[in-house]
Chains A and B, each alone.
Chain A
């Protein structure tokens, strides 16, 4: 989708402000929001692409006015509301008002280390050969799906070179809707002038990781 989250190359954002000796979290609520988000994926049953879509699928003024963990919180509330795990009146009043919906699993303290160590590998068995090889010239397709995608706007329509093959990985555009549909994944590298025209820096090359259906031969 065309959201404010797709920030590559936009001109309105000003300098980067590194924070010396930055803490991991800046407030107690950030700690809890982070941990609740990680823990709720287990009873909630959603995947990472559903989480990303729940965060990014909001009006630009909403996305841009929220801090990072405020966006996480808004995404989490949406995922829980959609699945009936909590109701809007419960979030508003801060009290449990409705019967608990049964869930298959929850995260126990004993399960934390194993859950983090397991992670969520996205590589799957290849069922067909890769369409492209390292060195091939490819064009990022000019697509504008209204749903979740991981092809950023700034590379669409531009020609780059396949630099790495990563095997076959879960396709986020469909995984955000519950279908893994794994595809070959490539690192595709673009010259600065190709992406940004005469203002581009010719000494810079930028890559994205692109699934096969994002690409066409060039």
Chain B
């Protein structure tokens, strides 16, 4: 797939394409509204939900809870869907969630090589790179190369486990709690949890980064 954000060689081309597409989508919405198939107010609400309510802050709260509460961590790792719904996150594209835990010897990474499957209730909608050809092709064959693209290396002796989301099971990575966070509240811990650390293409922030 082309990426409008990174493919600078085709910048002008993309701009004209964008406005054509913009017109096409506007016209389509008009037709569907006039036919009574869609209600623009419902569309506004769908957009607002994923722009302001459902996003990686949800997943960060789940991870922070797991770091703080051993019983919750155990529930999350044994059956993630009901554990996550304890925090109020459930539903579309998160009907069947599995949480996978990073350790000093094992790093988990999640991909969908066939399309863009992603745990919406905890991470929101996927970023462009997650849906892009480079990530979808490379993650299963050269995950260390992908991590290098994200600017980090794993220590020697850390194996990688890649989860290709080919069914309706959605995977959430439980990253390792950073050192130096003893006694932190869940709220402070959640500030360390990045979206990419829950996909496996990043690590949580270190305490000095949020000081």
Residues of A within 8 A of B (CB): 5-19, 22, 24-29, 31-36, 38-40, 43, 48, 52, 55-56, 63-68, 70-71, 73, 77, 85-86, 90-91, 93-96, 100-101, 103, 106-109, 111-113, 115-123, 150-152, 154, 164, 166, 169-170, 172, 185, 187, 189, 195-196, 200-201, 203-211
A residues near B91, Cβ cutoff 8 Å: 116-119
A86 touches B31 (CB 8 A): yes
B169 touches A209 (CB 8 A): yes
- Chain B contact-residue range equals 35 or more
Closest to B85 in A: A117
Which secondary structure dominates chain B's binding surface?
mixed
A17 touches B134 (CB 8 A): yes
A106 touches B47 (CB 8 A): no
B residues near A10, Cβ cutoff 8 Å: 133, 137
B residues near A91, Cβ cutoff 8 Å: 24, 27-28, 31
Provided the pairs A100-B35, A204-B159 are in contact, do residues A151 and B166 lie with their beta carbons within 8 angstroms?
A: yes
B47 touches A205 (CB 8 A): no
Of the residues B5, B131, B137, B167, contact of A211 by C-beta under 8 Å: B167
Instruction: Give Cα distance in the complex from A9 to B42, angstroms.
Output: 39
- B87 at the binding interface (Cβ < 8 Å): no
B residues near A39, Cβ cutoff 8 Å: 37-39, 42-43, 46
The proximity string for B residues 121-135 relative to A, scoring 1 for CB distances below 8 Å and 0 otherwise, is 000110111011111
A17 touches B132 (CB 8 A): yes
Of the residues B1, B38, B39, contact of A66 by C-beta under 8 Å: B1
B37 touches A40 (CB 8 A): yes
- The distance from the CB of B27 to the nearest CB of chain A, in whole angstroms, is 3
A18 touches B149 (CB 8 A): yes
- The distance from the CB of B54 to the nearest CB of chain A, in whole angstroms, is 8
Instruction: Give Cα distance in the complex from A94 to B196, angstroms.
Output: 40
Provided the pairs A166-B169, A204-B160 are in contact, do residues A5 and B94 lie with their beta carbons within 8 angstroms?
A: no
The proximity string for B residues 2-32 relative to A, scoring 1 for CB distances below 8 Å and 0 otherwise, is 1111100000000000100111111111111
Of the residues B3, B28, B92, B160, contact of A36 by C-beta under 8 Å: B28
A residues near B22, Cβ cutoff 8 Å: 27-29
Instruction: Give Cα distance in the complex from A77 to B144, angstroms.
Output: 39
| A-B pair number, CB within 8 angstroms | 289
A29 touches B134 (CB 8 A): no
Instruction: Give Cα distance in the complex from A10 to B116, angstroms.
Output: 17
Shortest 3 CB-CB contacts between residues of A and residues of B: A94-B27, A209-B167, A8-B113
The proximity string for B residues 88-111 relative to A, scoring 1 for CB distances below 8 Å and 0 otherwise, is 001111111010000000000000
- The distance from the CB of B56 to the nearest CB of chain A, in whole angstroms, is 11
Most A CB atoms within 10 A — which of B23, B46, B132?
A: B46
A residues near B143, Cβ cutoff 8 Å: 201, 204
Instruction: Give Cα distance in the complex from A208 to B2, angstroms.
Output: 26
Of the residues B21, B115, B164, contact of A29 by C-beta under 8 Å: B21
Provided the pairs A121-B96, A152-B114 are in contact, do residues A11 and B29 lie with their beta carbons within 8 angstroms?
A: no
Instruction: Give Cα distance in the complex from A29 to B150, angstroms.
Output: 29
A residues near B134, Cβ cutoff 8 Å: 13-17
Provided the pairs A22-B127, A166-B167, A185-B169 are in contact, do residues A73 and B141 lie with their beta carbons within 8 angstroms?
A: no
Most B CB atoms within 10 A — which of A15, A152, A185?
A: A15
Of the residues A32, A38, A73, A106, contact of B36 by C-beta under 8 Å: A106
Provided the pairs A64-B1, A187-B169 are in contact, do residues A106 and B26 lie with their beta carbons within 8 angstroms?
A: no
Provided the pairs A28-B22, A118-B91, A204-B159 are in contact, do residues A94 and B137 lie with their beta carbons within 8 angstroms?
A: no
Most A CB atoms within 10 A — which of B1, B36, B132, B150?
A: B1
B residues near A25, Cβ cutoff 8 Å: 47, 51
Provided the pairs A36-B28, A106-B38, A119-B92 are in contact, do residues A17 and B21 lie with their beta carbons within 8 angstroms?
A: no
